[in-house]
Structure 1
Amino acid sequence: MALFMLLGFIAVIALPSVLWLYALADVIRNDFQVILTKIVWLIVLCAFPPLGTLLYYLIGRSQRVTCYPVGRLVFIGIFVIPIVMIITYFLYSLGHLTFLPEPPNTIQI
């Protein structure tokens, strides 16, 4: 059951968010022929995240003048940190990971 919840969460929330963040970083990092094109892509990505991300990957990436990679730090921030957070959350929710010691069962006066 928890595996299906994890897969559902990744499919519905995490993966589109990661793709959106990568598209946003790609627009910010690279140059376009006209600065207005970059501004329009930033507005479209921020105003309509799911549709804007899809349109950027289909149309916008071919409009770039430069093809700089986003960078290792951004890659770690976008891909690795959310994966670690998801795994930590599910281990905590299943009881395999605790941050505080267990309270005693009885209180003695």
Structure 2
Amino acid sequence: MYDITSQESFAHVRYWLDCLRESGPDGVVILLLGNKMDCEEERQVPIEAGQQLAQELGISFGECSAALGHNILEPVVNLARALKMQEDRLKDSLVEVTPKRPQKRAECCF
């Protein structure tokens, strides 16, 4: 998440993403959100810049206002869908292993 009223905040997105990709698992689902869309008169980062960066990085994008609760549901639902799709892909790639039942020993005497 970056602050649309701060060019500096937006400039740090690539660094944060690099940190996530270095320390997180491969294929982690990421959503880029521009916050403070309620402060349009103070905007320093155009929506097109956020969209372009997200497209370059291959991640989802949205803008929201955490203070007012605007446009938070849709990006979070999209994130949840992406996580569910990732979970389904992972489940499909798993191989189920069933333990062997111990064989009964023949009861005999010598």
Give yes or no for TM over 0.5: no
The structure with the larger Rg is: 2
Which fold has the larger relative contact order, with Cα–Cα distance below 8 Å and residues 6 or more apart in sequence?
1
Choose between structure 1 and 2: higher helix proportion: 1
Which category of TM-score, normalised to the shorter sequence, fits these structures? 0.3 to 0.5
Choose between structure 1 and 2: higher strand proportion: 2
